[in-house]
């Protein structure tokens, strides 16, 4: 192994930084297995000095088949841009946050949690980086579960969370929210047309990681709509208690990009957010989505009224 590993800056609970990686290393099956195992173990992997669309696609395929983002399945975008999605500074819309107008701000969430199939991960490749802002926040839900008080672990065992797609984070019921929406992006305007967003879905609040048996708090603040069988004040209060535990500052890692690096995360256990970019600054990323389904999600069954 000719690459080296080091901890994430300021975060010892999860994640790893890889330096010295070269795309040709992926031709070695043992390296591919090492990287896959590293991803499962650490949840977040930063590849320094790693650039190029071909490399992004080849690296993504180490961890699973690349898939089209669920919100783009019915779009007329070119196929290449559906698989490696271009994300500019305004892709997430424009919001006012803490008194500042920011482009591309996104609340804490898991990708595709609003569908019954939870994709396994993604890779962000940084191309153009703003002078300030533009970070992606990451948070590990395995170490968060391990830090849960025992009584709270017992209270949430066996519960399920209901999710509903909302294109605009100001409409979310749980988690952090911006001060106000300035305008939506074209992507957000179109996203409500996707059939995958029309029905509520249900995922377990806690599950075990398949490879290790470690337990995961499986809660996405954005898109959460309540607890199954507890859509009341008591259930909402419990969900907010769990989210408050998740969101403690010491659990968060904010990645400050430099041009030409790739960040891989395990979407089954890692939450992420986007801090947004100050107006007038440029940011361009490409993002792949890694296929996978932990087979624990299901669509809500709504009984017809006679």
**pLDDT tens readout for residues 206-237:** 999 998 999 999 999 999 999 999 999 999 99
CATH number at residue 245: 3.60.130.10
Tallying the residues shown for the chain, one arrives at 306
Residues 6+ apart with CB under 8 A from 268: 118, 120, 121, 209, 216, 218, 292, 294
Three-state secondary structure call for residue 161: strand
Per-residue pLDDT at 68:
65
Q: Which helix (H) or strand (E) holds 121?
A: strand 121-128
- Within a domain: residue 306? no
Q: Is the pLDDT assigned to residue 187 strictly greater than 90?
A: no
- Within a domain: residue 304? no
Do 177 and 261 form a contact (C-beta atoms < 8 A)?
no
- Within a domain: residue 28? yes
Distance CA 146, CA 137 (A): 20
Q: Is the pLDDT assigned to residue 29 strictly greater than 70?
A: yes
Q: Is the pLDDT assigned to residue 46 strictly greater than 90?
A: yes
Residues 6+ apart with CB under 8 A from 124: 87, 136, 262, 263, 285, 286, 287
Place of tokens 């533009």: 134
- Within a domain: residue 305? no
Q: Is the pLDDT assigned to residue 190 strictly greater than 60?
A: no
- Within a domain: residue 181? yes
Three-state secondary structure call for residue 211: coil
Residues 6+ apart with CB under 8 A from 201: 113, 114, 115, 116, 162, 163, 297, 298, 299, 300
Select from 50, 239, 36 the least CA-distant residue to 121: 36
- Within a domain: residue 115? yes
Distance CA 266, CA 250 (A): 19
- pTM above the 0.85 mark? yes
Instruction: Round the CA-based radius of gyration of the chain to a whole number and report it.
Output: 19
Which of the residue ranges 158-162, 181-185, 270-274 would you say has the lowest mean pLDDT?
181-185
Query: What's the total number of domains in the chain?
Result: 1
CB atoms within 10 A of CB 37: 11
Q: Is the pLDDT assigned to residue 50 strictly greater than 80?
A: yes
Per-residue pLDDT at 184:
73
> 165 lies in which domain range?
4-299
Q: Name the pLDDT band for 66 (thresholds 50, 70, 90).
A: confident
Per-residue pLDDT at 253:
98
Give me the chain's average pLDDT, please. 90
User: What distance separates the 2 farthest-apart alpha carbons in the chain?
Assistant: 66
């Amino acid at each position: 192994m000719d690459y080296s590993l080091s901890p994430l800056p300021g975060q010892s609970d999860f994640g790893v930084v890889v330096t010295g990686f070269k795309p040709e290393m992926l031709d070695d099956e043992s390296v591919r297995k090492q990287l896959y195992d590293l991803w499962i173990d650490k949840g977040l992997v930063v590849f320094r000095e790693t650039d190029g669309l071909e490399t992004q696609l080849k690296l993504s395929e180490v961890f699973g088949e690349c898939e089209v983002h669920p919100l783009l399945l019915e779009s007329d975008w070119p196929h290449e841009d559906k698989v490696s999605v271009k994300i500019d500074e305004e892709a997430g819309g424009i919001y006012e946050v803490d008194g500042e107008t920011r482009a591309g701000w996104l609340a804490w969430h898991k990708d595709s949690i609003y569908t019954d199939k939870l994709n396994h991960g993604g890779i962000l490749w940084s191309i153009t980086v703003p002078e300030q802002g533009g970070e992606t926040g990451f948070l590990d839900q395995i170490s968060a579960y391990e830090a849960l008080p025992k009584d709270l672990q017992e209270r949430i065992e066996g519960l399920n969370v209901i999710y509903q797609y909302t294109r605009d984070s100001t409409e979310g019921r749980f988690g952090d929210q911006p001060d106000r929406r300035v305008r939506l992006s074209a992507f957000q305007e179109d996203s409500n047309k996707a059939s995958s967003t029309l029905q509520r879905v249900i995922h377990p609040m806690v599950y075990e990681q398949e490879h290790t048996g470690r337990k995961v708090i499986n809660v996405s603040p954005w898109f959460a709509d309540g607890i199954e069988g507890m859509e009341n004040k008591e259930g909402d209060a419990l969900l907010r208690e769990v989210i408050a535990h998740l969101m403690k500052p010491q659990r968060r890692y904010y990645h400050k990009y430099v041009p030409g690096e790739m960040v891989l995360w395990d979407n089954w256990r890692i939450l992420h957010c986007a801090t947004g970019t100050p107006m007038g600054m440029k940011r361009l990323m490409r993002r792949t989505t890694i296929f996978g389904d932990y087979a624990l999600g299901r669509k809500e069954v709504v009984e017809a009224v006679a």
